[in-house]
Amino acid sequence: AADWRFAAEKFVAKLPDKVIEHRSECNYSKLTFDGVDMMGERLAQEVLDVVKRRPEVRKISFVAHSLGGLVARYAIGRLYENSKKLGQSGPFVSTLTGEHTNSSMQDLEQHSEDRIAGLEPMNFITFATPHLGSRGHKQLPLLCGLPFLEKRASETAHFVVGRSGKHLFLTDNDEGKPPLLLRMVDDGDDLKF
C-alpha cells in the first residue's frame, strides 16, 4: 500500500491540475476472500460514489495490482455503458427520427461512445495480475511446480482464501456456469470485458 501511495502522490504532483487519484478502500483484509465478483461489485459502487462527488471528472483510468486487476476488470464490466445499449437515451434521440444532417450524425457518433461510469475510458493497467487464473502450470512458485501440490492447492484454496481462491483456481461453478475468470474472457449479455 505504501508503494502505491508513493506512486500516486508522485503522479498527482507531476500533473496536479489534470489528475485526481482515488485509491480504493472497499476491499481490504477478509473482504478479499469474498470473490472477484463481490469485490468487483463493491469497487463499482465505490467508483460511482467518487464520480458522483466529483462531477468535473470526464475521463477515467484504472491501475491495479495482482488480484486487484481482476477486481478492476469485473468492476469495469459492471460500469460499462453504451448509449446504443441504453436505448439511445440522450440529446441525439431526435436525430434518429428526423433528418440526418452532418451535425446530427456527429452528435450521434459523439454520444454513442463507450463509457465507464459515464466517463471516457482512457487506460487500464495491471501489474502481476493472474488474468488466466492460478491453476497449475507452475503459477505459484511455492508449490515448486509439483503437479500433486498444484492439484491439492486448487482443491483446498477456498478453505484459505474463500471464493477468491475458487475463482483463482477456476474451481467455481456458480449455478452450473463456467468459472468466472473464463466468463470474463468474452463479453456477455450482462457484462462487457
Please provide the distance, in angstroms rounded to a whole number, between the alpha carbons at the two ends of the chain: 27
Model pLDDT for residues 136-147, shown as the tens digit of each residue = 655 555 555 666
Residues 172, 122, single domain; the answer is no
Pick from 9-18, 29-38, 126-135, 159-168 the range whose average pLDDT is largest: 29-38
Model pLDDT for residues 160-179, shown as the tens digit of each residue = 778 998 999 888 988 899 99
193 pLDDT more than 80 = no
- Write the CB contacts of 128 (distance below 8 Å, at least 6 apart in sequence): 65, 66, 69
* CB neighbour class for 87 (10 Å; exposed up to 12, middle 13-18, buried from 19): exposed
**pTM, entire model:** 0.78
* Number of domain units in the chain: 2
C-alpha cell at 120: 471516457
Residues 56, 79, single domain; the answer is yes
Residues 14, 41, single domain; the answer is yes
Residues 107, 150, single domain; the answer is no
Model pLDDT for residues 18-75, shown as the tens digit of each residue = 899 999 999 999 999 999 999 999 999 999 999 999 999 999 999 999 999 999 999 9
Residues 65, 145, single domain; the answer is no
Judge contact between 78 and 44, C-beta under 8 A. yes
pLDDT of residue 55: 95
More confident residue, 151 or 47: 47
Structural domain boundaries enclosing 49: 2-129
Residues 142, 124, single domain; the answer is no
Residues 124, 137, single domain; the answer is no
Residues 80, 98, single domain; the answer is yes
Residues 75, 58, single domain; the answer is yes
